[in-house]
Structure 1
Amino acid sequence: MPVLLIASVLLQFVCLVHMARSGRPYWWIWVIMLGSYLGVAVYFFTQILPELRHDPAGRRLVRNVRDRIDPEHQRRRIAQQLDVADTVENRRRLAEESLRLGDYANAAELYRSVLKGIYATDPAFLLGLAESLAGLGDHAGARDTLDALIKANPQFRSDEGHFLYARCLQALGENERALEEYEVLATSYPGEEARLCYGRLLKSLNRPRDARRVFEDMLKRAKVAPKYYRRKEQAHLDAAKQELAELVPATE
């Protein structure tokens, strides 16, 4: 019973704060306070939820919650739209959603189905196909697809595509070429994952000094980076610290 009471008080407090900040009529106080859970529910569904639907951050929050509860919801909805209108756009959306869910085989099939006619060399579709093939473990196919992408679209630039290309080369044992790609990514990729992979490859190739330099640069960069960036990249920064700790005995 105390737990239910505490939860009710907390929910009422949240609703009252929202009411005061948003300028809602003060009679909502009586609905929230006297209605307990029912009052909170009425306020949430009539006042907060509609507001969330029109706010970009709120829509993301609602979508994230929904995706956790039912991760296939969006794909089912797009698949229904594709049944009604079999368009390139609907196939693209379904391919992207399948890729996001890790259904690489279906994503690859959908991307291949749209890589025809005027879309035969579309860079976004080719990149999606390469990501799908890499997810399936076909790194040679992914590399060849990226080569075809650049040949057909020499001006196209994609940080994720470049990173994928380096990972494919590494997976195929083409380590020297992979190092060349990672070296470029070390100064251009908007995140720490590429630098972490670069350092780990150097370490695996028995180049501990170079690996240490990469890991130390990651941590130096993080010290002057904004807080939001450090939070976003925390897992990769922690991994760099661990890699450095493991390098110490081997290089002293």
Structure 2
Amino acid sequence: MSPIILLSIVLQIACCVHVVRTGRPLYWVFILLVFSYLAVLIYVIAEILPDLRHNPAARRTVRTMRNRIDPERDKRDAARLLQAADTPENRRRLAEESLRSGDYAHAAELYEQSLKGLYATDPNLMLGLAKAQFGLGQAQQTRDTLDALIAANPTFRSSDGHLLYARAVEGTGDITAALNEYEAVVQGYPGEEARARYALLLQRSGDASRAVSMFKEILTRSDVAPKYYQREQRPWIELARKELATLA
């Protein structure tokens, strides 16, 4: 059978299954079976693409692909918006895009400019500044910013912010305090990074038995987790396997 015909059959069947599973009008099945490639193209444009625009997972996938092709696009767009209108929201957006792209110096500058007036103690802006400072290797400044954040916003909670604080404390060389922070953050952190970093610090501080226990916990949790979780956490899972092999 010709590959072109085979591909047409596969696409037609896939679209027909989509029609039935999503409750589309059944006349699409007739159209798809009769008009082959043209019907598939029309069906994708008329029925599938509109759904993708409203699907969060699809939007994330599209954005990821777009960022791989042109990683600076969102940052350029944010810069143009800020140039057209210097508002707190536009400055925040450019700061976030600068942070995402690894331009920590520019991100820190923008966050510092934003932390004024009504926004002087905004917890999200302060957390953004702390992330930029940590990216610049400024562990003590990061710790100071996060201490100020909690002092000004005692009810603010962020698992990423708590992990960042533990890393900043570790970066200042305060190992005992860092171990305490890691022990606290692993209790509710939605992923394996906190456990992996805690185990690594336990290992460096000479507590190999607790490090082994923490690495094993990572593997145990991942073994019973859904596939998507295993994919997302693969770097930390592989790190745990590697370190356990070394410790053994």
TM-score band by shorter chain is 0.7 to 0.9
Residue 90 of structure 1 is matched in structure 2 by 90
8 Å CA contact 1:32–1:43 kept in 2: the answer is: no
Secondary structure, counterpart of 2:187 in structure 1: helix
CA distance in 2, matches of 1:110, 1:119: 13
Secondary structure, counterpart of 1:187 in structure 2: coil
8 Å CA contact 1:32–1:40 kept in 2: the answer is: no
Bigger CA drift: 139-148 or 16-25? 16-25
Q: Are 1:147 and 2:170 matched, yes or no?
A: no
Superposition TM-score, scaled by structure 1 size: 0.84
CA distance in 1, matches of 2:33, 2:98: 42
Shift of 1:207: 2.0
RMSD: 2.6
Residue 63 of structure 2 is matched in structure 1 by 63
5 Å-filtered alignment, 1:156-175, equals 156-175=156-175
5 Å-filtered alignment, 1:144-223, equals 144-223=144-223
Secondary structure, counterpart of 1:144 in structure 2: helix
Shift of 1:130: 0.5
Secondary structure, counterpart of 2:186 in structure 1: helix
Shift of 1:14: 2.8
CA distance in 2, matches of 1:138, 1:129: 11
CA distance in 2, matches of 1:234, 1:62: 22
Superposition TM-score, scaled by structure 2 size: 0.85
- How many residues are treated as equivalent by the alignment? 247
8 Å CA contact 2:91–2:110 kept in 1: the answer is: yes
CA distance in 2, matches of 1:241, 1:157: 31
CA distance in 2, matches of 1:105, 1:2: 57
Q: Are 1:105 and 2:105 matched, yes or no?
A: yes
Bigger CA drift: 172-181 or 11-20? 11-20
- Counterpart code for 2:27: Y
| Deviation sequence 1:66-118 (CA, Å, 0-9, x none) | 33333333333333332332211111122112212222222112111111112
Shift of 1:19: 3.3
Residue 24 of structure 2 is matched in structure 1 by 23
| Deviation sequence 1:107-166 (CA, Å, 0-9, x none) | 112111111112111111111001011112222221221122122222322211111111
Bigger CA drift: 7-16 or 77-86? 7-16
Residue 232 of structure 2 is matched in structure 1 by 232
8 Å CA contact 2:12–2:32 kept in 1: the answer is: no
Secondary structure, counterpart of 1:188 in structure 2: coil
8 Å CA contact 1:96–1:128 kept in 2: the answer is: yes
